[in-house]
Structure 1
Amino acid sequence: MVSLARFFFFLFAGAGVFGHLSDSFLGRKGSLQVACFLSAIFGLLTALSPNYWAYAALRLLTGFSTGSVGLCSFVLATEPIGPSRRGAAGMSTFYFFSGGIAALAGVAALFQSSWRALYVFTSLPSLAFALAVLPFVSESPRWFLVRHRAHDALRVLRDIASKNGRVFPDGVTLKLDDDVEEDDENVDKNNKVEEQERNSASDSSILDVFRSRTTRARLVLSVLINLLCSVVYYGLSLNVVNLKTNLYVSVAINSLAEMPAYLLTALLLDRFGRKPLGIGTMLLSGAFCIAGSLIVPGAGAGGAMRIVRMGCGVVGIFGMAATYNLLFIYTAELFPTVVRNAALGCTSQASQMGAILAPLVVVLGERVPFAVFGVSGIVGGLLVFYLPETMNKPLYDTMAGLEEGEKTVLK
């Protein structure tokens, strides 16, 4: 469990580094390419480890590169989507994550006799994705726009329209949400100010999130919620060792239990909104984890009680899986394009910190982990009350655009 915590710590570091690079010169696609190549290379080298220390070092490097693959791919996939379809499109990406975990349980069972073969087999998909899929994926048009490459953004949008059988109108121009129309007499006067603002927009960082009172409060709440959610999500996944059931079967059941959660959340997300679903799923998970902590397997019906407790865990991971992936969508909508990946990187770091703590909670026994997970879920659900709703709201591009947009909403 300690080695697993170290692995998650390097996931924590990688999420922050690649989150910043994704918002800066590398872009969403470039950062994803680098992360996939590094993940595959370090994974394949792990299979060749001559001793424990080489193995441990390569596992840490794999964690550093792997930590941002999901983050960059999610933002790259969802930024071009409009408000009406963003929730369903975002949730659909997570079926592949759960499917991969379920497949991993089967693959691990097949390669029990050779851990080296297991590392080779599980590293090849990342390399195949980087070589066979990513060259045909376009960069995010929103990233192009905030980097003042509007012609590239228009090219991507025209390509998307063409592949969807739609006609992109001629004469369309793109501008950032902090661009305003100026009277002719004020243009010369404000040119220098505008240029400075544009340069700062493309060079924004996580520090700009803390400078704004609006985004600062959102980030602190998002970090705390993601931390608590991750403790429960990873904790319940790892807690299968305390259930005294078949490890591979339990992992597969837990991962498959997540898929109905994604479907239900996708169906309800644009009907009830991000905030009510976030509150409801976290409280659901917390309640069933508390119930699981109260179950004491007796001498006569120990097997039946363990099944009941496993059922509580399955419902718990059902609710928290919905929350965990909903938070990706929710967090992406809370912050503007110029700092979106940096903010997501920060909340992803909080998630990895929760993943670091989860193994340390699991070793506390059979009942205590369920109690900790239950309290974490309930507290996290209560914190979601303080976040604003983002359903059907635009994705802002700049900090100034978000501030102005929020003022308009408050009026």
Structure 2
Amino acid sequence: MELDEVFRYLGNWGRHQTFIFIFMNIFCCVFPGWLTMSVIFFTADPEDYHCTPPEGYYPNETIPGLVDGDGVDRVDKCNMYVVDNEGIVTGNLTTCLNGWDYETTVTGETTMITDFDLVCDKSLLAEIAASLFMGGVLVGALPIGQIPDIVGRKPVFFVSLIVEVVVGVGLVFAWNYYAILVLWVLAGMFREGLFATGFCILMEMYVPEKRALVGSLLNVIWGISMTTLAGVAYIFPNWRHMQLFMSLILLLALPFYKLTQESVRWLISQGRIEEAEDVLQYVAKFNKISSPPKRFLQELDELKLVNDQIGDEHKTNLQIDDDTKEVHKTTKGGYDKLYDQTKETNQRESKKSYENKYDALEDEKTNTKLKQHTFLDLFRTPVLLKISMILFVNCFANSIVYYGLSLDSSHLAGNKYLNFFLLGLVEIPAYICAYISMEKVGRRLSMVVTLIIAGVACIITACTPETTDSGESLRPLIITFAMIGKFMISYSFAVLFIYTPELMPTVVRNAGLGLVSFALRVGGVLAPYVIYLERVGKYLPLTILGIISIVAGILSILLPETRNRPLPETIEDGEKIYQTKAIPRERMLSIVPSDFDK
């Protein structure tokens, strides 16, 4: 039987699958989500601040007042009056000679800005700090994405978790700005090992008709992560205490190390059939399901046996000429004979499937060993090259728009903790709608429509004046379109996380996820600087974000549909992805234990 049919036999939502789903949702989504978005609180501007007056003076004596563009009286945050040697306050201005006094939302609140006075002429340093965590994820995306395809998903996940704990605790005790930047880059690098690898484990564990549901639930959990982060930040207003809590809580994963298993798809892609069989037997026992009379992967065992025989022929004959070609022909004939003897009652389509796997493995065999693939294989064939480039643009667009809108949320009036909670809350219905549309109309159309609407909403938000000519406020309209933009880009993000692994062959899937994650982090790194352009023109940031989103939506039209299609396993499968047909619904529902007796 096909591997997806083995997973159906074991139960799509068996005890083991449910455990792994909950475990990975917590440790590759909720907690890493906190680590990722906490930078918004760590680098948030204080409620207000002004220069610390000289000893013996009050702020209203030494701090000048200003009238801003809205006609509102405000205190000058970056200058103070000079006090001469005789103690007289002059009318001359100088910079804040004694530091700053900060007003915060809640008692005991501290941020990187208050710790290191990253205000006024140092305000750009706060933007750099906000972008460097994503910079670390960007730096780690390709190597962290490649390593799991070589050594496995499970070891990379747990090593990344331990490093996150060590680096996170180091951040708590670092009182040098540049030391914090270095540690933040490291935290970003290994956060990718948690999120991307854990996500890959989940997606490879489920059959095609369940992947959209699993990915959508994962996105809903991300929305819950965002809403709960607001509560965590409120409980721990001191950013160092918050960082310590978020780091140490990751240690709760270690007792479950033995209960997590390596990805069966990855083991098979590496030719480690025995280990893959052991994992499947373990899952059957965990789920209290009786193992079939024959091994789950008996067809692959036979394929591996024949492949080894081919390798022996290569070793003894060593020459590629007409005689060698005849040996190959004879060997494959032996395989057909062996197949007919052992699988007489198998369906014709199953035989054809395994013959195709035979051909793919034979082609990829070099010196009797399976070839190790890298992300460069995504650029060596025309179809995968086109798909990879479009995904790269899509990921960049989703990331820069999502993080840009999140950072721009400070323009919403009110309590920042409540605002962040509401912004997280609006994502949850978006993810639910994404699942419904992916199941009804497919991945491609869902991606195209949501990116274009998000882009239009951003441009309308940017171009709408705050008041009409008659003085009527248009702020509610601006906020409405901003929320539509956030809803749609969250919707698009949900589709993206399902769509991307479905387009990548198993042999390079984690490397491919690392590549697109690289594009995601480029967007995350640049988002703070795009928002910074508001100082040049208030309409610029969201207009730029809107154009990027619309372009990505138009390019998505060129992608293939993957709804209910089997995951591509080899590079050859990836090249034929436009011809892959959907699995008939009756076949999805017809896998019963007796199928394994055939």
For the criterion TM > 0.5, the same-fold answer is yes
Report SS of the residue matched to 1:13: helix
Deviation at 1:174, TM superposition (A): 5.1
Q: Is this contact kept in 1: 2:462–2:539, CA < 8 A?
A: yes
State the partner residue of 1:24: 150
Aligned 1:116-127 pairs, distance under 5 A: 116-127=240-251
Counterparts of 1:271 and 1:141, CA distance in 2:
29
Pick one of 273, 276, 281 that aligns with 1:150: 273
Counterparts of 2:433 and 2:498, CA distance in 1:
15
Deviation at 1:408, TM superposition (A): 6.6
Report SS of the residue matched to 1:385: helix
Distance 1:302 1:85, change over 3 A: farther
State the partner residue of 1:169: 292
State the partner residue of 1:220: 389
State the partner residue of 2:17: none
Range 377-386 or range 398-407, more displaced: 398-407
Aligned 1:32-47 pairs, distance under 5 A: 32-47=157-172
Aligned 1:56-205 pairs, distance under 5 A: 56-112=181-237, 114-129=238-253, 131-171=254-294, 172=296, 173=298, 175=300, 185-187=330-332, 195-196=365-366, 199-201=369-371, 203-205=372-374
Distance 1:134 1:317, change over 3 A: farther
State the partner residue of 1:379: 551
Counterparts of 1:22 and 1:368, CA distance in 2:
40
Counterparts of 2:242 and 2:564, CA distance in 1:
44
Point out the structure with the larger helix share. Answer: 1
Report SS of the residue matched to 1:364: helix
Q: Is this contact kept in 2: 1:99–1:255, CA < 8 A?
A: yes
Pick one of 124, 130, 154 that aligns with 1:4: 130
Superimposed CA distance per residue, residues 220-253 of structure 1 (whole angstroms, 9 cap, x where no aligned partner)? 1100111111110111111112334432222111
Superimposed CA distance per residue, residues 17-49 of structure 1 (whole angstroms, 9 cap, x where no aligned partner)? 110011111x11111111111112101110011
Point out the structure with the larger strand share. Answer: 2
Distance 1:54 1:277, change over 3 A: same
Distance 1:161 1:193, change over 3 A: same
Deviation at 1:195, TM superposition (A): 3.8
Counterparts of 1:198 and 1:237, CA distance in 2:
51
**What letter is aligned with 1:104?**
L
Report SS of the residue matched to 1:68: helix
Counterparts of 1:353 and 1:235, CA distance in 2:
12
Range 131-140 or range 384-393, more displaced: 131-140
Distance 1:168 1:306, change over 3 A: farther
State the partner residue of 2:4: none
Higher RCO (CA 8 Å, separation ≥ 6 residues): 1
Counterparts of 2:215 and 2:277, CA distance in 1:
23
Deviation at 1:283, TM superposition (A): 1.7
Pick one of 311, 334, 337 that aligns with 2:480: 311
Deviation at 1:305, TM superposition (A): 3.2
Q: Is this contact kept in 1: 2:137–2:189, CA < 8 A?
A: yes
**Percent identity between the two aligned chains:** 29
Counterparts of 2:521 and 2:203, CA distance in 1:
22
Distance 1:43 1:219, change over 3 A: same
Distance 1:170 1:212, change over 3 A: farther
Deviation at 1:406, TM superposition (A): 5.1
| Structure showing greater Rg | 2
Q: Is this contact kept in 2: 1:328–1:344, CA < 8 A?
A: no
Superimposed CA distance per residue, residues 190-212 of structure 1 (whole angstroms, 9 cap, x where no aligned partner)? 998664287344x1001111111
Q: Is this contact kept in 1: 2:172–2:240, CA < 8 A?
A: yes
Deviation at 1:115, TM superposition (A): 2.1
Distance 1:169 1:197, change over 3 A: farther
Deviation at 1:300, TM superposition (A): 10
Counterparts of 2:471 and 2:181, CA distance in 1:
38
Deviation at 1:154, TM superposition (A): 2.1
Superimposed CA distance per residue, residues 150-196 of structure 1 (whole angstroms, 9 cap, x where no aligned partner)? 122122223334444544433232539x9999987134999986642
**What letter is aligned with 1:139?**
E
Distance 1:378 1:194, change over 3 A: closer
Range 330-339 or range 90-99, more displaced: 90-99
Aligned 1:285-324 pairs, distance under 5 A: 285-298=454-467, 305-324=474-493
Deviation at 1:145, TM superposition (A): 0.5
Distance 1:269 1:44, change over 3 A: same
**What letter is aligned with 1:170?**
P
Counterparts of 1:339 and 1:227, CA distance in 2:
20
Counterparts of 1:167 and 1:60, CA distance in 2:
48
Superimposed CA distance per residue, residues 89-118 of structure 1 (whole angstroms, 9 cap, x where no aligned partner)? 111112222222221122222322x22211
**What letter is aligned with 1:144?**
L
Pick one of 370, 394, 398 that aligns with 2:566: 394
Report SS of the residue matched to 2:222: helix
Counterparts of 1:357 and 1:301, CA distance in 2:
38
Range 184-193 or range 346-355, more displaced: 184-193
Report SS of the residue matched to 1:79: helix
Alignment of 1:351 onto 2:520: yes
Q: Is this contact kept in 1: 2:565–2:580, CA < 8 A?
A: no
Q: Is this contact kept in 1: 2:203–2:501, CA < 8 A?
A: no
Counterparts of 1:175 and 1:389, CA distance in 2:
28
Report SS of the residue matched to 1:67: helix
Counterparts of 1:303 and 1:159, CA distance in 2:
67
Alignment of 1:363 onto 2:532: yes
Pick one of 492, 495, 511 that aligns with 1:342: 511
Distance 1:270 1:169, change over 3 A: farther
Counterparts of 1:322 and 1:242, CA distance in 2:
22
Q: Is this contact kept in 2: 1:265–1:277, CA < 8 A?
A: yes
**What letter is aligned with 1:111?**
F
Q: Is this contact kept in 2: 1:150–1:174, CA < 8 A?
A: no
Superimposed CA distance per residue, residues 365-398 of structure 1 (whole angstroms, 9 cap, x where no aligned partner)? 2432222222122111111101111111111221
Q: Is this contact kept in 2: 1:243–1:306, CA < 8 A?
A: no
Counterparts of 2:556 and 2:219, CA distance in 1:
21
